[in-house]
Structure 1
Amino acid sequence: MRVEIWSDIACPWCYVGKARFEKALAAFPHREQVEVVHRSFELDPGRAKGDTQPVLTMLSKKYGMSEAQARAGEENLGAQAAAEGLEYRTSGRDHGNTFDMHRLLHLAKERGRQDELIQALYRANFAEERSAFDGDERLVELAAGAGLDADEARAVLADPAAYADEVRADEREAAELGANGVPFFVLDRAYGVSGAQPADVFAQALTQAWGERSPLRLIEDSAAGGAEACGPDGCAVPRG
């Protein structure tokens, strides 16, 4: 079974939601047969590369709230993260463009290190003192720490076209699926879960989606002994 997760590194609920989903997945009996794929979604696609500002300032301007209100919201998010065993810096963080991070995540997917990189990016953005938006070499450092080749990551960042189409394709697909916010979880293209739901909601979704994979149950006319059909040995011959 495949679970696709649309998310953005700048999204605190994606950080929390990933932890809650993983808690449910860890307890899922068929977890070894679940493939998790991370998809791209930018919350602030119009922001220019290198244009960063403090998170509290961004929240105040974007939502028309006071800095005290923005700080209270961050404190609440910090408590939610702590409840999931996550570190969360409630002040001193930056906000910026995440397009290059998503491009690197597509490289990481090809190299089998996608989950390691997204976790490293989340940790850098939400828990570490040094900003995740501190230039290309910061991203190269994080990529290398996640098991990617530093020179390969550096080459991707130097080429604006590298994996750009893949990021845009993910974002178009999110729109087609009706995802206007993240995190957004899609299970086997049969069920969608929106938001950082509690772990038990994810557990229920995993169980339900897995159940849909059960073998087909045939409906037959028992009195007729089954209908005629064709197979590898030929076709049934009608008898008068």
Structure 2
Amino acid sequence: MRVEIWSDIACPWCYVGKARFEKALAGFAHRDEVEVVHRSFELDPGRAKGDVQPVLSMLTAKYGMSEAQAQAGEDNLGAQAAAEGLDYRTRDRDHGNTFDMHRLLHLAKERGRQDELIQILYRANFAEERSVFGEGDERLVELAVEAGLDGDEARAVLADPAAYADEVRADEREAAQLGANGVPFFVLDRAYGVSGAQPAEVFAQALSRAWGDRPALKILDEAAADACGPDGCQVPQDRPTAGKPQVSADI
């Protein structure tokens, strides 16, 4: 079964929701048969790469709330994160464009390190003092290396604006087609969708339901035929062994 998660590194509920989903997945009986794929979604796609501002300023401008209300929201997020065992800085974080991070996540997917990188990017953005937005490409290269990627390869991706750009945009178009207007957005086997950072219990129920509703394999031709089984492949006695040289009686 495949679970696809649309998310953004700038989304605190994606950070919390990932932890809740993983808690549910850890208790799922078929967890080793679940493939998790992270998909791209930008909350602020129109923001220029170098446009970095404090989170509180972004929140007050975007949602028309007071700074006190914005700070209360951050404090609540800090408490929600702590309940999931996550560190969360409720003061002095910044906000910026995440497009390059998504491009690196597609590189990481090809290298089998996607989950490692997204977790490191979340931690760096929400828990560490250093910025993932204000220190330039080398900060992202450093985090990519920590996730197990090659530094020169990550650097080359960041230096080429076209690298994995189509993959990011394709993810975002697909999210729109599926009806996702916010993140995190979880899609289970393209049959069920779960929106938001739901409690672990909700994710557990969704996993069980999606697994139980998987269609059984239908055998189209049940007539007996030659086949290999758990004990190997028995060669019929009335046939020459495939590949075995025929020995001449004159030798």
Q: Same fold (TM over 0.5)?
A: yes
The letter for the 2-side match of 1:15 is Y
Correspondence list, 1:1-240, <5 A = 1-133=1-133, 134-213=135-214, 215=216
Separation of aligned partners in 1, 2:21 and 2:102: 20
Q: Could you list the per-position Cα deviations for residues 203-229 of structure 1 after superposition, in whole angstroms to 9, with x for gaps in the alignment?
A: 0000000001252699xxxxxxxxxx9
Go from structure 1 to structure 2 and tell me whether the alpha carbon gap of 1:73 and 1:216 turns closer, same or farther (over 3 Å shift): same
The letter for the 2-side match of 1:76 is N
Q: Tell me which structure has the larger Cα radius of gyration.
A: 2
Separation of aligned partners in 2, 1:21 and 1:124: 20
Secondary structure of the 2:201 match is helix
Separation of aligned partners in 2, 1:230 and 1:22: 40
* Seq. identity, %: 85
The letter for the 2-side match of 1:138 is R
Separation of aligned partners in 2, 1:230 and 1:214: 18
Secondary structure of the 1:36 match is strand
Separation of aligned partners in 2, 1:138 and 1:217: 51
The letter for the 2-side match of 1:165 is D
Question: What residue is the counterpart of 1:221 in the other structure?
Answer: none
Q: Could you list the per-position Cα deviations for residues 179-226 of structure 1 after superposition, in whole angstroms to 9, with x for gaps in the alignment?
A: 0000000000000000000000000000000001252699xxxxxxxx
Separation of aligned partners in 2, 1:139 and 1:217: 48
Go from structure 1 to structure 2 and tell me whether the alpha carbon gap of 1:120 and 1:188 turns closer, same or farther (over 3 Å shift): same
The letter for the 2-side match of 1:60 is T
Secondary structure of the 1:14 match is helix
The letter for the 2-side match of 1:115 is D
Corresponding residue pairs, total: 224
The letter for the 2-side match of 1:106 is H
The letter for the 2-side match of 1:50 is G
Secondary structure of the 2:161 match is coil
CA positional deviation for 1:114 = 0.0
| Structure 2 residue ranges without an equivalent (≥5) | 225-251
CA positional deviation for 1:50 = 1.2
CA positional deviation for 1:230 = 7.4
Separation of aligned partners in 2, 1:96 and 1:30: 38
| Structure 1 residue ranges without an equivalent (≥5) | 219-228, 234-240
Secondary structure of the 1:3 match is strand
Separation of aligned partners in 1, 2:38 and 2:218: 33
Separation of aligned partners in 2, 1:50 and 1:185: 30
Q: Could you list the per-position Cα deviations for residues 137-173 of structure 1 after superposition, in whole angstroms to 9, with x for gaps in the alignment?
A: 0000000000000000000000000000000000000
Separation of aligned partners in 2, 1:144 and 1:62: 34
Question: What residue is the counterpart of 1:223 in the other structure?
Answer: none
Separation of aligned partners in 2, 1:62 and 1:213: 42
Give the TM-score, by structure 2 length: 0.86
Q: Could you list the per-position Cα deviations for residues 40-97 of structure 1 after superposition, in whole angstroms to 9, with x for gaps in the alignment?
A: 0000000000110000110011111111110011000000000000000001111000
The letter for the 2-side match of 1:197 is Q
Separation of aligned partners in 2, 1:231 and 1:30: 28
